[in-house]
Amino acid sequence: MANVTIIGAQWGDEGKGKVVDWLASRADIVVRFQGGHNAGHTLVVGNQTYKLSLLPSGLVRGKLGLIGNGVVIDPVALLAEIDRIRAQGLSITPETLRIADNAPLILPVHAALDRAREAARGERRIGTTGRGIGPAYEDKVARRAIRVCDLAEPDTLDWRLDELLLHHNTLLAGLGAPTFEKATLLADLLALAPRILPYAEPIWERLAQARHENARILFEGAQAVMLDVDHGTYPFVTSSNTVAGQAAAGAGIGPDAVGRVLGIAKAYCTRVGSGPFPTELHDATGQLLGERGHEFGTVTGRPRRCGWFDAALVRQAVKVGGIQGLALTKLDVLDGLPALKIGVGYRINGVTSRHLPSGARAQAQAEPIFETIEGWTSSTRGARSYAELPAQAIKYVRRIEELVECPVTLLSTSPERDDTILMQDPFSD
């Protein structure tokens, strides 16, 4: 039986939560492998709405949730999220949630530095979530991170905090921001340790066992390919690799375990934060998409920028992300629009390109080349089969498949879990 990896194919917020939830109900284990509590997955189950940031979505379905080493974990945020979800009636215990003992921690210094740097950037700010994601990944690569396992060794924590603060306090002072006391940080970490350590273990070992038992594993990506630190619209990206290949390294399993790769894309396009967005709409249609699609960030509440579907961008995400099937969400938001545009390439200083170039200036100057396609008048909301879709909506989906060079294997027509059209089961071999 194949495993499945889900990643975003645009700039995040593609509606992964619903698709992950639906697939999680059929998986045995759900694994997060990158990102942190910058992610926001909204799951609507019956009359309950769960907003998850760090917890693997499968927990809502009573499945074992694993947080891999590729994730950066804010222990305070994790415990707060566990408490919040427990208050909604779900059981989250060290039996249902395991976290990698070699995952790096996000500490208050990281969020402070994230915000201080954003403030210093002014007009050129990235628009981060301000949660310390970038600085925590920097510390991991710089080999000065404090990891989950360090919570069990007070003496290790002590000297590692010295090294960490030498770096961060220098930077914070330079930026005119308050610095941190080692004694306070150490006391806080030691107080958190007994609440975090019961969840910690070598995740790679559990995954090796799960494979041995032929368990179905779902790897749950956060953010999206165009926010990937290598392949996205750098520097307006997050600080982790969001492509499917990261599922292996970020969980501690071989690349052959990644299984089928499903990319999620909205039937239009949105982005939060700064950075290039060639098909962005600054007019009434953009506003309409935002209102109909309830386009506000789950984590920050910021309004999302909206635009037409950019097939050139998604094609690029399909290629670099390893996407084998596309789940198209929020088709119903386009209902009733007389004409729809699809971005098929770019014009940059008079030269046409089929892909978004790597350079920051070239990306900012990229003007979309559009193809126009007739809209549909009847509703697609809640459709559960192709037969229920207007002919023009089917044409739109087929054209997207051609342009992005990837089949649409799943179509979501409302936030409700069952309002889904499945063309191909990703778990099937």
Q: Is 13 in the site for ligand IMP (CB under 6 A)?
A: yes
Question: Which residue is nearest to ligand IMP, using beta carbons?
Answer: 273
Query: Coil, helix or strand for 173?
Result: helix
Q: What is the rounded distance in angstroms from the CA atom of residue 64 to the CA atom of residue 213?
A: 15
Residue 293 CB, shortest distance to ligand IMP, in Å, is 14
Q: Is 272 in the site for ligand IMP (CB under 6 A)?
A: yes
Q: What is the rounded distance in angstroms from the CA atom of residue 187 to the CA atom of residue 193?
A: 10
Residue 67 CB, shortest distance to ligand IMP, in Å, is 16
Q: Which of residues 125-184 bind ligand IMP (CB under 6 A)?
A: 126-129, 131, 133-134
Asked if 31 and 68 count as a contact pair (C-beta separation under 8 A), the reply is yes
Here's the x/- map for ligand IMP, 213-232, by CB under 6 A: it reads as ---------xx---x-----
- Residues with catalytic annotation? 13, 41
Q: Which stretch binds ligand IMP (CB under 6 A): 32-40, 348-356, 392-400, 415-423?
A: 32-40
Residue 166 CB, shortest distance to ligand IMP, in Å, is 23
Q: In the structure encoding, which two tokens stand for residue 108, read together?
A: 């208050």
Q: What is the rounded distance in angstroms from the CA atom of residue 395 to the CA atom of residue 398?
A: 5
Residue 239 CB, shortest distance to ligand IMP, in Å, is 6
Q: Is 117 in the site for ligand IMP (CB under 6 A)?
A: no
Asked if 58 and 221 count as a contact pair (C-beta separation under 8 A), the reply is no
329 φ, ψ (degrees, to nearest 5): -115, 160
Nearer to ligand IMP, 38 or 412 (CB): 38
Residue 230 CB, shortest distance to ligand IMP, in Å, is 14
Q: Is 39 in the site for ligand IMP (CB under 6 A)?
A: yes
Task: State the CB neighbour count (10 A cutoff) for residue 155.
Answer: 8
Q: What is the rounded distance in angstroms from the CA atom of residue 28 to the CA atom of residue 19?
A: 16
Q: Is 64 in the site for ligand IMP (CB under 6 A)?
A: no
Nearer to ligand IMP, 102 or 270 (CB): 270
Q: In the structure encoding, which two tokens stand for residue 97, read together?
A: 């949630």
By CB under 6 A, name the one of 5, 38, 241, 420 that touches ligand IMP. Answer: 38
Q: What is the rounded distance in angstroms from the CA atom of residue 107 to the CA atom of residue 105?
A: 6
Helix boundaries (H) for 197-340: 203-212, 246-249, 284-292, 311-321
Q: Is 42 in the site for ligand IMP (CB under 6 A)?
A: no
Provide Rg for the chain, Cα atoms. Answer: 22
How far, CA to CA in Å, does 247 sit from each of 20, 61, 99, 220? 15, 21, 15, 8
Q: Is 239 in the site for ligand IMP (CB under 6 A)?
A: yes
Q: Is 34 in the site for ligand IMP (CB under 6 A)?
A: no
- CB within 8 A of 86, min separation 6: which ones? 92
Q: What is the rounded distance in angstroms from the CA atom of residue 238 to the CA atom of residue 155?
A: 32
Q: Which stretch binds ligand IMP (CB under 6 A): 54-62, 73-81, 104-112, 236-244?
A: 236-244
Q: Is 238 in the site for ligand IMP (CB under 6 A)?
A: yes
Q: Is 98 in the site for ligand IMP (CB under 6 A)?
A: no
Q: What is the rounded distance in angstroms from the CA atom of residue 54 to the CA atom of residue 34?
A: 10
Written in H, E and C, the secondary structure of 143-169 is: CCCCEHHHHHCHHHHHHHHHHHHHHHH
Residue 273 CB, shortest distance to ligand IMP, in Å, is 2
Residue 39 CB, shortest distance to ligand IMP, in Å, is 4
Binding footprint of ligand IMP, residue count (CB under 6 A): 20
Nearer to ligand IMP, 13 or 101 (CB): 13
Nearer to ligand IMP, 134 or 263 (CB): 134
Q: What is the rounded distance in angstroms from the CA atom of residue 351 to the CA atom of residue 366?
A: 10
Q: Is 241 in the site for ligand IMP (CB under 6 A)?
A: no
Residue 390 CB, shortest distance to ligand IMP, in Å, is 30
Nearer to ligand IMP, 298 or 379 (CB): 298
Nearer to ligand IMP, 69 or 239 (CB): 239
Handedness of CA 108, 110, 115, 119 (dihedral sign): positive
Q: β-strand 408-412 against 325-329: which pairing, if any?
A: parallel
Nearer to ligand IMP, 296 or 386 (CB): 296
Q: What is the rounded distance in angstroms from the CA atom of residue 244 to the CA atom of residue 262?
A: 9
* Contact residues: ligand IMP, CB under 6 A: 12-13, 38-40, 126-129, 131, 133-134, 222-223, 227, 236, 238-239, 272-273
